Structure 1
Amino acid sequence: MRRTALVTAVVTASFVLTGCGGGTDLEGIEVTKGSSPKVTVEKDFETEKTQTRVVNDGGGEKVGDGDTVKINYIAVNGRTGKEFDNSYKNESPMTLTLNEKTALPGFYKGLVGKQIGSRVLVSVPSEDGASLLQSAESLGLEKGDTMVFLFDLVAKVPTAASGKPQKAPATSPKLTYNDKKQPAKFVKTKKTKAKVTESSAYVLIKGEGEKVVKDSTVSVQYVGQKYPAGDVFDESWSTGPRQLPLTEGNILDCWRDLLSGQTLGSRVVVTCSAADAYGKDAKKKGQPDGPLIFVVDLLDAS
């Protein structure tokens, strides 16, 4: 399932209203009913600040700061009135963490406080949207454009793995946790294997969700470290879950091969051989060299 254009660009409704032709009024934007709605925006629509209108109130749990949500959306360029992205057509909902550090400001301002199950119309001025997108041009956007979004808030995504605890192999480094009970780093024990000859994985928490398939996009929390107890070179817990495609060429082979088939909700430890990680030219590419070890929480997939 391919990723939507906006997902690539960004990564840290039930009744019809009468149109009014351009301007700044969200009430003049047409939104049709149904599971695959249409949004009609007249040319030269613009707004000076992020504005929202709840088209349908879903009545579910409120979305808060730092929450990760699964959403469907339609994106329209206010200047041209043309749609430039549509997750309904692509059959690929976006998973978005509403964190001020990583989310587009217009998304954060428009969706925090809204309820799961709701359909929400959001207009995003250039300063909260288009001017911050590095690939705005590829989406047909100019830096001064207002963007208009229709969002369906489908569900909240869990923030961590949950399920049945599993025993770790005695020969693996021991995973330690911080004061928030989040995975922090691996430490070497007397029984830890000194070398990694091939990539492998084991499960620390067995989730009860669906199995992850290759070429899907997964929402994950993770810590990456040089094996067996070296420096932590990357982690997501300080900023929120990340969305990563398990597609060839876009992810480490060890992730693609060893996370595929695991169940959502699981916490999986993946050990990557040097060859399956960044290879012999890792340092030249500015990447960590040698074998690597990751602890990955599989939260969602699309």
Structure 2
Amino acid sequence: MLRHRFAAAALSLSLLSLAACGEEADKGLDNVDITAEAGKAPEVKWQGKLEPTEVETEVLVEGDGDETKEGDTVRVHYWFGNGFTEEEAESSYEQSDPLALELNKELTPALKAAFIGHPMGSVVAVASPAEEAFGEQGNPGLGFGEGDSVLIIAELVEAVPADEVAAMKKQQEDQAKAQEKAAADLEKAKKNALKSAKGAKVDPAAWAPQVTFKDGEVPVLDFKGTPKPNGKLQVTKLIDGKGKKVKAGQTLIAHYVGQVHQGDEPFDSSYSGGEAASFPIGVGQVIQGWDQALVGQRIGSRVIVQIPPELGYGEAGQPDAGIEGTDTLVFVVDILGAA
């Protein structure tokens, strides 16, 4: 089993994708105090905004290993700071293992300066203007706005042996193929999915609300006369499908409407957009009540699921959707297909 993560060409750029800001010669690395020690996150004290006019490099800790070169794959730790806001943006030191990084020609000048041409074991600081780091557009996801300069502190931990690199690349290729197959299988399943539940109509349990369906409209739930929820997960059917049983790990294709018990209107519905939803089931990607209630149901079924708070959104609820932490949720689900 591979213990370390691997970043190949495109991945290295996306994972380490940050940004940069303006510059002046006297506001580069001289404008920041860095305390660095191999194996530990650096301590950074800003003396003002970082505004380098070119890529500046300083070796903070001199390693005694072989010098890194383009084409190598090495394990590294990194720390990125935003030179405009004077704040940490991203650090790998919070993770247990360093990142495996391929030192390829696609790395930007600032990243090359940080990771290439230094003895293994070194800790290197780089200050870079926007255009030499990750492009002037920045990386909003990591807190870098357009033109923000970047401070990179890179630790070269160890080289990755060639056989391990080959194994990691093989693993990536296998994962990519598996993802492509899964995507193709899902598209096929969507094309073959039912338009609505299909099977024998059955009488629901007495606790269930009355559900009215009209073509092209969101189903209406009427809770008049329904008993108070008993605090347990409850499942009943309106239509008993005859298709295959849904298995944990499949991607479920379904139409659904969700409403708080005794609520006046739905808080969510796939019917509103007209297109069935698709989501992994039985693997913790949806609320527990869905995982527990829908795995094992047959394709074609229309089920009503009543979910207690602890199997829904918990004590926090979903305030934006009007769901409180004490609310019982009721879903009507048409199970249309699975991949």
TM-score by length of 1: 0.48
Radius of gyration: which is bigger?
Answer: 2
TM-score by length of 2: 0.43
